[in-house]
């Protein structure tokens, strides 16, 4: 049964394409062109009440019934539960996965996202304050991640959905004006993940 991935070529979309590829789940992309406001369409609103991509429809959800899920973090948790992959079975091992997934959703996403917004403004005066504020916070978050990865291959022990969530945003580091050489542990982690065949397929999947 093929999962529908309603998305666009964004960090949050890439989180899910990478996870689906790594988990070996069949899926088809249904582009939602956010540059044209397609995320506001009533049909999409039924899947994602917050009018944000991504959303999925799994025709074989709980009890074999179709289910739709919105919010990238919720989708990753669902897919981990569904497949038993990249989400540890024991609660003790899940705790760091939960922590770093929420860290990404609460910080390493919203903050770089503000950089994306302000860097696109044409008026230099409008850009200056926002970029100074959010670039500084974005670099702080890269520093947090770098310290976490000191002596670790992955953020929460074994490779997990938390890594996929964070990778979706680290993928945009050039747009954040961040040189990964400044964060050597992040650089090592990033390059190791990007070398994985499943991640590579997920990153190359056409989402737009």
pLDDT tens by residue, 58-111: 999 999 999 999 999 999 999 999 999 999 999 999 999 999 999 999 999 888
Q: pLDDT class for 117, splitting at 50, 70, 90?
A: confident
Closest CA to 101 of 84, 90, 88: 88
Q: Quote the pTM value.
A: 0.87
Q: What is the mean pLDDT of the chain?
A: 95
Q: Which tokens belong to 60?
A: 């074989």
Domains observed in the chain: 3-87+200-204 (3.40.30.10), 91-196 (1.20.1050.10)
Burial of 62 (0-12, 13-18, 19+ CB in 10 A): exposed
- How much of the chain, in percent, has pLDDT values that exceed 90? 84
């Amino acid at each position: 049964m093929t999962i529908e991935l309603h998305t666009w070529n964004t960090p949050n979309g890439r989180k899910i394409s990478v996870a689906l590829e790594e988990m070996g789940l069949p899926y088809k992309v249904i582009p939602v062109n956010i540059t044209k406001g397609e995320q506001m369409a009533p049909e999409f609103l039924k899947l994602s009440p917050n009018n944000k991509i991504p959303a999925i429809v799994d025709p074989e959800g709980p009890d074999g019934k179709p289910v739709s899920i919105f919010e990238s973090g919720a989708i990753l948790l669902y897919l981990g539960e569904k497949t038993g992959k990249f989400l540890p079975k024991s609660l003790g091992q899940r705790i760091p996965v939960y922590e770093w997934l929420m860290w990404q959703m609460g910080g390493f996403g919203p903050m770089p996202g503000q950089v994306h917004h302000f860097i696109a403004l044409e008026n230099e005066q409008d850009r200056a304050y926002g970029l100074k504020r959010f670039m500084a916070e974005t670099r702080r978050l890269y520093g947090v991640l770098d310290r976490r990865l000191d002596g670790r291959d992955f953020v929460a022990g074994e490779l997990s959905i938390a890594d996929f969530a964070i990778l979706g945003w680290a993928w945009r580091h050039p747009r954040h004006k961040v040189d990964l050489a400044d964060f050597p542990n992040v650089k090592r982690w990033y390059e190791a993940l990007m070398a994985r065949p499943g991640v590579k397929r997920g990153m190359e999947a056409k989402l737009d």
